[in-house]
Structure 1
Amino acid sequence: MRGSGAAGANTHFRDRPVRSDGPEQEQENTVAIASMENTPSREDFAALLEESFTQNTLEEGSVVKGTVVAIEKDMAVIDVGLKTEGRVPVREFGAPGRESSLKVGDEVEVYLERVENALGEAVISRDKARREESWEKLEKAYAANEKVEGMIFNSVKGGFTVDLDGAVAFLPRSQVDIRPVRDVGPLMNTPQPFQILKMDRRRGNIVVSRRTVLEETRAEQRSELVQSLEEGQVIEGVVKNITDYGAFVDLGGIDGLLHVTDIAWRRINHPTEVLAVGQTVKVRIIKINHETQRISLGMKQLEADPWEGVEAKYPVDARFKGRVTNITDYGAFVELEPGVEGLIHVSEMSWTKKNVHPGKIVSTSQEVEVQVLEVDPVKRRISLGLKQTMDNPWDSFAEKYPVGSVIEGEVKNKTEFGLFIGLDGDVDGMVHLSDLDWNRPGEQVIEEFNRGDMVKAQVLDIDVDKERISLGIKQLEGDPFVSAEASDIRKGAVVTCEVTDVKDNGIEVKIAGTDLTSFIRRSDLARDRSEQRPERFATGEKVDARVTQFDRKTRKVSVSIKALEIAEEKEAVAQYGSTDSGASLGDILGAALSRAQEQAPADESDDDAEK
């Protein structure tokens, strides 16, 4: 239209007559004619118009301003100063989740992608324009470590998408809140601050965090709140979380730890026995660590300490009833009153059951009678005894079976040092190896006994404090050394022995009239070496010998045939003369007998003369 109008005007000028009013007028007419002759044609005007468009400063890939000239259905027609207008969806002019308020005549900024497409229209975008503007602002905020405002508008895998005024960012699920959030609904489409964690404009990647903002805000609030709190202060809070070791209480912006040991004076196995999430509790501030901003809380500190005056309430040796609250490998805890517990050590649970788990003697919640053994109010400990409330079986046994009594029991165990015998009152007595037999070694005799055998023994000693009973089996037969002494057997005495065994190096004998046995070595079998032959003796043969050793302490007795022969020889020499001539003992004894026979008739004649 603009081109055709110019051409028409040009034709009109050419048809008009040229006026001449003198030289000056002629000059003007000449200029006018020349001007009319230089007026561009329609093609020239079109070329000029195209040239004006090409000389425009609008460049593809930049943000330009335009005017909304029309709104057709869901598309906005925008004039940006090009040959033709561009079209942009109306929804691009609204924030995510909200409708657009765009109207005709509004001036807007759009992103010019192409000056003209195949249809001859300008390709423009409001989203890309906003994105370009936002990226510039976000890059500055990221460089300055500043927070930006955005809205969560969609849920994607691993997190959410956030609109940062045109730029779309990714919000990881772990960065939504300080603690995991189950329902993100209340946070959707609500403007809120975010911290940019990562940006990559080339890839169009932005990662933001809401958690970082909350942590900074919370840290500031915590710092302010911590400064306003004091140790010893009593404050109300809400139980926020419960663990095995305690509960976290919200004090109005900062959490404090209420340890399980500070909930009550009595034993609490788990905080849920007393507390519940959401419960309002009154607590005392025990300790504040301003560096770590950790706060320790206590509930039991609001009540009187039951350990005050505990020594007067629970004197030593007094007996009380209590409830078993906990059982361990080393004993059982008994509650004497709420907040006051004592320990029954495993060694104080039973007189007779040793090395038995406490759980086999008492059970949890069982009511028992105990005796106070020791009280330590400083360490807040009370030692209790269970067995002390029962009769001591060792005392009872000592009363019933004094030393010297003969008892009967079952062999419970065999050890390398003796036998254990089960006795009345569920106590055990021990027979040492040395008390099994008078003559034979204990290691040999113990093999004759087996578990379950019923045996008799004599009570030798009772130690109630050490809980020991000493027994003896050999004592039932009497000490052969005592009977031997009663029979006047001593060192130097001549005894008759019975050969019980013949060996290569000597013979074993038993002293007649006693239970004593001895071994006569080969060298003690005779004075003459030629007679020192064990084989010349036979089992059951009676021989005389002289006692060379009789020691009751070491329980040793030794006899010797050789010693007897030497002693008899000395006695004969002393009575009948010297043996210097070389005569043997037999010769001396034969001569003595001859002299005795010769003197006998003379003695008889003297007797007759006297008559």
Structure 2
Amino acid sequence: MVEAKENNNTDEFMDDEFEDMEQSFSELFENSIKELNVGDVVEGTVLQINGDMVVVDVGYKSEGIIPLAEFADESGQVDIKVGDKIDVLFERRENENGLISLSKEKADRQKIWNSLEEDAVVEGRIAARIKGGLSVDIGVNAFLPGSQVDLRPVRNLDKLLGETFEFKIIKLNKRRGNIVLSRRVLLEEQRESLRQDTLETLAEDQEVVGVVKNLTDYGAFIDLGGIDGLLHITDMSWGRVAHPSDVLAVGDKIKVKVLKFDREKERVSLGLKQLTADPWLSVAEKYPTGNRVSGKVVSLTDYGAFVELDEGVEGLIHVSEMSWTKRIKHPSKILNIGDDIESVVLAVDVSNRRISLGLKQIERNPWEVIGEKFPIGTIIEGQVKNITDFGIFVGVDDGIDGLVHISDLSWTKRIKHPSELFKKGDVVKAVVLNIDQENERFSLGIKQLASDPWQTIATRYAPGTMISGKVTSVTDFGIFLEVEEGIEGLIHVSEISKEKVDSPKDFAKVGDNLEAVVLHVDTEDKKIALSIKHVAHQKEKAEVDAFLGSQKSATSNLGDIFKGAMDKAGDKE
């Protein structure tokens, strides 16, 4: 019985001790609960990973849960396992399932916020474009104003999305959760550091590497490291450059030569073409006068075409050197930019960087052989190409026109303008009269196809010859009478009548038929003088001559009869 009593005492003691321990543990646990407040960041241990939730022990009477998504990195990968120690933020106490709510993301952000300070340099990724600038992820969202993105304004902010840079915190308000960043401040600091280094080392004739920063119509600005240098368009290439964008693009990394450097004003002139030899140094040897050369037409002007023979070497084909025969009004009539052509070197002026080229010299001058092809006296047939006040131009050969002067159109007709007889496109025959190769003139004649009627006028119309014709014109000084087609004679006012005539217009009108007597013929000046007042006298003379002629004939007949009778008498004796 004693033993039983002792056993009972022992059990009572153990029960009392367990109760005391349980009470002490409960008090300690209650005390720990009081110390864990909403918003606190505590360390926890991963107990389980169930589906899309992670169970974490933070020393609380209940475990906490965190969505598995909070453990995913940027690529969506989850790297977490049971037993891992993590920092979490206590969000709220037990829910209906007896679990507390924790957050790993908020704990991470809280740690970041606690570590941030103004003027601190942080790394972040540009996440989105928002009003006034960009949103940057530095662990928490921060604002990057558009004016603080770069040293120069950036027109297209969208192209920066996803890029990672370093930024400086220029404003920080933890209470409101506002952070303002600047990338420009860091770039300015870097630029100033580079500028000082560049100023110490830069020198004329030095070859340096830079980045194309900006393009203008007149050149490109090259960032040499804190200092911008100007690469003028004329120093980009020995050849022709229409615009700097034809050679460079913003962002290009290029080697250039320092041509001039004003250290005080920090002005730098750069050259790109100076990295290679001047092609004009070998032009005289490479392009001797008289040689045929090939090149590409790169420019057309009113006075000629520029042909690129080599990079930086151009020659000019003057408009007068483009054709032996054609009058070229503008080079674009026969050439186009980009054409590959052959030409002949006419002259080289290295000091002035000029090469004169000839296009027509590729072929033989047609004026040198035209005389052989069409000797003087040759009858040609061609089309009327042009009509002027002084004559007509007739196509003779390819590109060569012959001139029929107005005076060579007709022997007899009075022509005021060639258009009275011809029009453009008419096909005519003509005789080659003369070829002037030196002055490139080809003379033709149409009237020479027939003989000159004036050569026989003097014999056909001797002085005293009676003629009749039609009045073609009446003037104050006389009347013009058509002797034959195209040939006129003048009846001077003094030869109209023996009596005084006040005006020829009172005597005759155009179209009247009149008789007249030829007084004089001047074949050299092609003039015939006629008279009406001598018509009566000439008729009388003609009648007398006719009568005397008849009398002479009768006398001659009597003499013949008498002579015949005498001859017969003699025969009888």
TM value normalised by structure 1: 0.56
Out of 440, 455, 467, the residue aligned to residue 467 of structure 1 is 440
Change (3 A) 1:435 1:288: farther
Change (3 A) 1:193 1:520: farther
Q: Is the 8 A contact 2:123 2:167 kept in 1?
A: yes
> Partners of 1:541 and 1:494 in 2: how far apart?
16
2:280 equivalent to 1:307: yes
State the AA in 1 paired with 2:37.
E
Out of 100, 115, 131, the residue aligned to residue 157 of structure 1 is 131
Residue deviations 1:15-41 (CA, integer Å, cap 9, x gap): xxxxxxxxxxxxxxxxxxxxxxxxxxx
CA displacement at 1:386 relative to structure 2? 0.9
> Partners of 1:558 and 1:424 in 2: how far apart?
41
> Partners of 1:269 and 1:183 in 2: how far apart?
32
2:298 equivalent to 1:326: yes
Out of 256, 259, 278, the residue aligned to residue 283 of structure 1 is 256
2:530 equivalent to 1:557: no
Out of 466, 471, 488, the residue aligned to residue 517 of structure 1 is 488
Written as runs of structure 1 = structure 2, the 5 A alignment for 1:322-401 is: 322-330=294-302, 331-355=304-328, 358=331, 361-362=334-335, 367-401=340-374
Greater Cα shift, 254-263 or 402-411: 254-263
State the AA in 2 paired with 1:428.
D
> Partners of 1:537 and 1:347 in 2: how far apart?
53
> Partners of 2:318 and 2:509 in 1: how far apart?
70
Change (3 A) 1:224 1:430: farther
CA displacement at 1:410 relative to structure 2? 0.7
Change (3 A) 1:236 1:539: same
Change (3 A) 1:420 1:186: same
State the AA in 1 paired with 2:160.
D
> Partners of 2:349 and 2:493 in 1: how far apart?
73
Q: Is the 8 A contact 2:473 2:509 kept in 1?
A: no
> Partners of 1:482 and 1:208 in 2: how far apart?
111
Residue deviations 1:371-413 (CA, integer Å, cap 9, x gap): 2222221221101001012121222223322444332101123
Change (3 A) 1:503 1:473: closer
Q: Is the 8 A contact 2:167 2:186 kept in 1?
A: no
CA displacement at 1:290 relative to structure 2? 5.5
2:160 maps to 183
CA displacement at 1:433 relative to structure 2? 3.1
State the AA in 1 paired with 2:132.
G
Residue deviations 1:295-317 (CA, integer Å, cap 9, x gap): 3333332322221253344333x
Change (3 A) 1:269 1:438: same
Q: Is the 8 A contact 1:175 1:211 kept in 2?
A: yes
> Partners of 2:509 and 2:400 in 1: how far apart?
55
% identical aligned pairs? 41
> Partners of 1:433 and 1:97 in 2: how far apart?
110
2:431 equivalent to 1:455: no
1:579 maps to none
Greater Cα shift, 353-362 or 404-413: 353-362
> Partners of 2:162 and 2:221 in 1: how far apart?
26
1:73 maps to 38
2:146 equivalent to 1:173: yes
Q: Is the 8 A contact 2:143 2:181 kept in 1?
A: yes
Change (3 A) 1:343 1:543: same
Residue deviations 1:123-175 (CA, integer Å, cap 9, x gap): xxx99xxxxxx9xxx9xxxxxxxx99899898631214799xxxx99754244
2:66 maps to none
State the AA in 1 paired with 2:168.
Q
2:516 equivalent to 1:543: yes
CA displacement at 1:99 relative to structure 2? 3.6
State the AA in 1 paired with 2:489.
S
Residue deviations 1:169-221 (CA, integer Å, cap 9, x gap): 97542442124253265567x552759xxxxxxxxx99997547745863674
Q: Is the 8 A contact 2:493 2:501 kept in 1?
A: no
Q: Is the 8 A contact 1:334 1:342 kept in 2?
A: yes
CA displacement at 1:276 relative to structure 2? 7.1
> Partners of 1:562 and 1:463 in 2: how far apart?
48
2:560 maps to none
Greater Cα shift, 266-275 or 371-380: 266-275
Out of 449, 458, 470, the residue aligned to residue 500 of structure 1 is 470
CA displacement at 1:245 relative to structure 2? 6.6
CA displacement at 1:261 relative to structure 2? 4.6
CA displacement at 1:90 relative to structure 2? 10
Out of 381, 404, 407, the residue aligned to residue 431 of structure 1 is 404
State the AA in 2 paired with 1:520.
I
Change (3 A) 1:564 1:283: farther
Higher-Rg member (1/2): 1
State the AA in 2 paired with 1:501.
V
Residue deviations 1:462-496 (CA, integer Å, cap 9, x gap): 3434433233323333455555578797xxx5554
CA displacement at 1:431 relative to structure 2? 2.5
State the AA in 2 paired with 1:183.
L
Residue deviations 1:410-455 (CA, integer Å, cap 9, x gap): 1123344432211123322233334323443433552332232210
> Partners of 1:223 and 1:441 in 2: how far apart?
93
> Partners of 1:170 and 1:240 in 2: how far apart?
27
CA displacement at 1:226 relative to structure 2? 4.6
Partner SS for 2:395: strand
Change (3 A) 1:73 1:520: same
1:192 maps to 168
Residue deviations 1:286-343 (CA, integer Å, cap 9, x gap): 2345577453333332322221253344333x12221224242444333434442212
Change (3 A) 1:71 1:214: same
> Partners of 1:530 and 1:386 in 2: how far apart?
70
Change (3 A) 1:483 1:293: farther
2:570 maps to none
> Partners of 2:499 and 2:107 in 1: how far apart?
134
> Partners of 1:99 and 1:193 in 2: how far apart?
16
> Partners of 2:190 and 2:250 in 1: how far apart?
24
> Partners of 1:97 and 1:393 in 2: how far apart?
97
> Partners of 2:461 and 2:535 in 1: how far apart?
21
Change (3 A) 1:412 1:503: closer
Partner SS for 2:413: coil
CA displacement at 1:74 relative to structure 2? 1.2
1:34 maps to none
> Partners of 2:519 and 2:183 in 1: how far apart?
113
> Partners of 1:482 and 1:288 in 2: how far apart?
90
Partner SS for 2:347: strand
